[in-house]
Amino acid sequence: MSDDSHHDSTRRRFLQTSAGFTTVSLLAGCLGGVGTGDGTPTDDPTSTAPTETTDDSTTDSTTEASSGETGPYSVSIEPVGSVEFESVPETWVANNGSWADMGVALGLEPPKALWLTGRYHTQYYDGIDGVSVDKSDMVSLYQSGVSKELFYSLDADVHVMDPNFLMNRFSGWNEEDVAEIEENVAPLFGNCIYAQHYPWHADYRYYSLYEGFEKLAQVFQRTDRYEAFEAVHDEFQSNLAPHVPTQGERPAVAVLWGVGEEPEQFYPYIIGEGTGFKHLRDLRVRDALASTDIQDFHGSRAAIDIETLFQVDPEVLMLRGYEAMSESEFRSTVVASLEDHPTASALTAVQNGDVYRAGGLYQGPITNMVLTERTAGQLYGVDEELFDRGRVAEIVAGEL
């Protein structure tokens, strides 16, 4: 990996970029509780709102490596700056399932650790022969805090995460801690691409899913697989477009995080930018909450009850927080509880059987296509495969 002078150069770039965020981070802290459960958005420090810009890939002005390059090379990403690699990383740690899925698409070994492994839903690969991930040995970085000793013990070659995320999503880390890990273990390389609502991310650019994917491909010297996936994604978008109804024909959808298996409270999500909403944006989902007085969870941190939801009465309910359940488990627990509830049972969506899982917050190139196709079936009745699963497996295997 890069020598001490390279680490120092990277660290200086980061400190200069992040200096304007320090006061904000001390004042804002972590906006909510943290933990390892899947019950509410505040259980997960990374679960409040995904984000990205457009899906048009762009390249920063830097010396970028292409696949097959063997000497030292550098890749840049904000807010870190330029990171120099003397050789291609072999082991890595990732922030969340968005980056982990990009690694799968590039044919990499899974990351040694994620912020919370429970939010990486590897069952999305079940319908793609030849693609699978065993995360039984994968470690959660967040364990009632984040330990520097864990980073030392993992001894990864690169940490794919935004350093500002590491310092701002819970109390404990500062710039000196980040610098220590970069100098003594390996550099941080990443951008919080899933969320645009954090105040500490207001002054530097965001990357779309495919922009982030391209950056990761450059780090691991596998841009040929990125380009192959980009072609699959373009074909997928072309196949999807004819199935998206006009605005007047699209149902009004409320996206909510349900609290518990018998939810009576919900955290409202206004459909916005980010990897966690890409499938809904690509399907041009009509947001039932956007024109109401209900505030987005990201800003309010507040839940709404069933009576408030009844006032909106959306045509479709899409519920987050239940991706670990199968469809049948979801219907026999969450949906059944709504059907038995005296108020929820009167909701149009419940009466018509239009209550669905909303998809995971962290989507990469493969999982996004899986979830978009699933949601197209739920909302628009699409019953055909919209992307070439065989081609996906070929790219993952390096058959380009």
Residue among 181, 184, 204 at smallest CA distance from 53: 204
Same domain, 167 and 288: no
Same domain, 352 and 260: yes
Same domain, 164 and 70: yes
* Domain of residue 340, residue span: 245-396
Going by DSSP bridges, is the β-strand pair 316-320/252-258 parallel, antiparallel, or unpaired? parallel
Q: What digits encode the pLDDT tens for the residues 143-170?
A: 988 999 999 999 999 999 999 999 988 7
Same domain, 228 and 361: no
Domain end (from 240, 259, 291): 240
pLDDT at 301: 78
**Residues 64, 54: Cα–Cα separation, whole Å:** 21
pLDDT at 268: 95
Domain count, the chain: 2
Secondary structure string (H, E, C) spanning 70-124: CCCEEEEECCCEEEEECCCCCCEEECCHHHHHHHHHCCCCCCCEECCHHHCCHHH
Same domain, 156 and 266: no
Q: What digits encode the pLDDT tens for the residues 262-305?
A: 999 999 999 988 888 999 999 999 999 999 999 888 767 789 99
Q: Are 283 and 236 in contact (CB under 8 A)?
A: no
Q: What digits encode the pLDDT tens for the residues 214-264?
A: 999 999 999 999 999 999 999 999 999 999 999 999 999 999 999 999 999
**Tokens representing 295?**
């505030």
Domain end (from 220, 240, 260): 240
Same domain, 101 and 223: yes
Residue among 286, 270, 314, 325 at smallest CA distance from 49: 270
Same domain, 219 and 344: no
Same domain, 231 and 196: yes
- DSSP structural state of residue 171: S
**79 prior amide bond cis, ω within 30:** yes
Same domain, 250 and 225: no
pLDDT-derived band at 198, boundaries 50, 70, 90: confident
**Residues 218, 74: Cα–Cα separation, whole Å:** 9
- What does residue 333 show for φ and ψ, rounded to 5 degrees? -115, -70
Residue among 395, 128, 91 at smallest CA distance from 219: 91
Same domain, 252 and 208: no
**Tokens representing 376?**
């197209």
Domain end (from 240, 259, 292): 240
User: How crowded is residue 365: how many other Cβ atoms within 10 Å of its Cβ?
Assistant: 25
Same domain, 186 and 330: no
**Residues 32, 125: Cα–Cα separation, whole Å:** 31
**Angle 223-240/389-396 helices, nearest 10 degrees?**
170
User: What's the pTM?
Assistant: 0.84
Same domain, 226 and 252: no
> What CATH number has the domain bearing residue 77?
3.40.50.1980
